[in-house]
């Protein structure tokens, strides 16, 4: 009895219900466009979903890097003009 | 007596059952909250709020930064964008809190480093394909490997349980998608604004007398 209790507390991921995990994995699957497209075959393998998730996050972070670079170039070429600042403000709000 | 020990077992089971039920209730509450958060990240309002906060922060960074080369300027922008994104999460998620606390820790560390001797990079931090000693590389189960990679990507998730990690990852993904949309749209507007300013300068028009809306 006590060993069972301590085991479930220590076994980390396997101690938590598998349903819960597969549910979350499904939710993750919905989010990743790569996996959404291949709806026909059941890409339900958790390992595959995790792999695609990591790839997707890496891609998103790389996009943010590229956009940061683009923004830095744009901000440099844009003079800190009050008029231009007004344009930007009016376009954004 | 035998009956007392029997009751003890029952009570333990009952309290465990109650805890289980309470945990499940908390889980459904968390799931609803997670769904609401996802809806929020997808909303236009959130994106506009983020965009305007980002522009303000960028303007502030430009005034205060002395960065001379392109890469450190774009890194400063990236960090600002991440910081504003983390703030937009309003402390609801671990990854957002981790971004903000890590920023603080890094700044303190750099401050200390500037005053201290330079340290050698510790070998424990180096991620290499070859194991340091002659031990054979143990082939972890695929799930654990991928989970570890995910933990590296999602800020602050190293010690989270697997379900929490997946929750954080889904929220982080929605937030990143919004960040990409917002930054792309800001870049578009800046491109349009600079084109507009350029062409109107060329035409000799001054924009400062444009009546405000």
User: Do A71 and B190 count as a contact with CB atoms less than 8 A apart?
Assistant: yes
Residues of chain A with Cβ-Cβ distance to B183 below 8 Å are 64, 67-68, 71
Residue B21 burial class via C-beta count within 10 angstroms: exposed 0-12, middle 13-18, buried 19 and up: exposed
**CA distance, residue A40 to nearest chain B CA (Å):** 23
User: Do B73 and A53 count as a contact with CB atoms less than 8 A apart?
Assistant: no
Average pLDDT over residues B193-197: 77
Note the pLDDT of residue B36: 84
Query: Does residue A13 have a pLDDT over 80?
Result: no
Query: Does residue A9 have a pLDDT over 50?
Result: no
Note the pLDDT of residue B122: 55
Residue B209 confidence class, pLDDT cut points 50, 70, 90: low
Q: What is chain B's Cα-based Rg? A: 25
**CA distance, residue B111 to nearest chain A CA (Å):** 25
Containing domain of residue A22, as a range? 3-92
Note the pLDDT of residue A46: 80
B75 vs B73: CA distance, rounded Å: 5
Q: What is the mean pLDDT of chain A?
A: 72
Average pLDDT over residues A32-53: 74
Note the pLDDT of residue A10: 42
Report helix, strand or coil for B6. Answer: helix
Residue percentage of chain B with pLDDT more than 90: 30
Query: Does residue B102 have a pLDDT over 80?
Result: yes
Note the pLDDT of residue B30: 75
Average pLDDT over residues A63-87: 76
Q: Choose among B170, B184, B196: nearest Cβ to A87.
A: B196
Q: Choose among A28, A63, A71: nearest Cβ to B166.
A: A28
Residue A40 confidence class, pLDDT cut points 50, 70, 90: very low
Average pLDDT over residues A12-41: 71
A83 vs A78: CA distance, rounded Å: 11
Over residues B53-80, the pLDDT tens digits come to 988 888 887 766 666 677 788 888 999 9
Report helix, strand or coil for A25. Answer: helix
B144 vs B167: CA distance, rounded Å: 17
Average pLDDT over residues A70-80: 75
Q: What is the mean pLDDT of chain B?
A: 81
B136: DSSP letter: P
Note the pLDDT of residue A7: 44
Total count of domains within chain A? 1
Helix and strand numbers (H, E) in chain B are 6, 0
B172 vs B99: CA distance, rounded Å: 11
Note the pLDDT of residue A86: 64
Average pLDDT over residues B29-44: 84
Token digits for B207? 């924009």
Token digits for B58? 């960028």
Over residues B155-191, the pLDDT tens digits come to 999 999 888 899 899 999 999 999 999 999 989 888 8
User: Do B167 and A24 count as a contact with CB atoms less than 8 A apart?
Assistant: yes
pTM of the predicted model over 0.80: no
Q: What is the secondary structure of B7-57 as a DSSP string?
A: HHHHHHHHHHHHHHHHHHHHHHHHHHHHHHHHHHHHSHHHHHHHHHHHHHH
Average pLDDT over residues B125-130: 53
Q: Choose among A13, A64, A89: nearest Cβ to B180.
A: A64
Q: What is the secondary structure of B68-99 as a DSSP string?
A: -SHHHHHHHHHHHHHHHHHHHTTT-SHHHHHH
Residues of chain B with Cβ-Cβ distance to A65 below 8 Å are 74, 78
Average pLDDT over residues B139-144: 79
Interface test with A, best of B52, B146, B200 (most A CBs within 10 A): B146
Q: Provide the ipTM.
A: 0.72
Residues of chain B with Cβ-Cβ distance to A51 below 8 Å are 146
B161: DSSP letter: -
Note the pLDDT of residue B93: 92
Residue B86 confidence class, pLDDT cut points 50, 70, 90: very high
Residue matched to tokens 């790569």 = A34
Note the pLDDT of residue A8: 43
How many residues are given for chain A? Answer: 93
């Amino acid at each position: 009895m006590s060993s069972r209790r301590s085991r479930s507390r220590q076994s980390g991921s396997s101690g938590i219900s598998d349903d819960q995990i597969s549910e979350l994995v499904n939710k993750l699957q919905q989010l990743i466009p790569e996996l959404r497209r291949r709806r026909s075959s059941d890409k339900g393998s958790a390992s595959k979903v995790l792999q695609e998730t990591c790839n997707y996050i890496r891609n998103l972070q790389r996009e943010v890097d590229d956009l940061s670079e683009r923004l830095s170039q744009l901000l440099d070429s844009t003079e800190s003009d009050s008029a231009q600042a007004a344009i930007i403000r009016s376009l954004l709000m | 007596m035998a009956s007392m020990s029997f009751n003890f077992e029952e009570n333990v089971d009952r309290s465990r059952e109650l805890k289980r039920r309470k945990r499940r209730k908390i889980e459904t509450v968390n799931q609803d909250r997670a769904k609401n958060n996802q809806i929020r990240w997808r909303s236009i309002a959130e994106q506009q709020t983020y965009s305007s906060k980002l522009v303000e922060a960028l303007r502030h960074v430009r005034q205060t930064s002395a960065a001379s080369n392109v890469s450190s300027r774009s890194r400063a922008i990236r960090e600002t964008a991440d910081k504003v994104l983390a703030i937009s999460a309003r402390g609801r998620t671990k990854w957002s809190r981790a971004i903000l606390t890590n920023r603080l820790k890094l700044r303190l560390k750099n401050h200390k480093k500037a005053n201290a001797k330079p340290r050698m990079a510790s070998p424990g931090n180096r991620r290499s394909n070859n194991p340091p000693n002659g031990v054979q590389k143990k082939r972890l189960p695929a799930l654990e490997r991928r989970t570890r990679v995910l933990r590296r990507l999602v800020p602050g998730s190293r010690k989270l349980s697997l379900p929490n990690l997946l929750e954080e990852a889904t929220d982080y993904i929605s937030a990143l998608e919004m960040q990409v949309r917002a930054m792309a749209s800001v870049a578009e507007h800046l491109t349009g604004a600079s084109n507009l300013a350029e062409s109107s300068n060329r035409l000799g028009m001054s924009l400062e007398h444009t009546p405000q809306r």
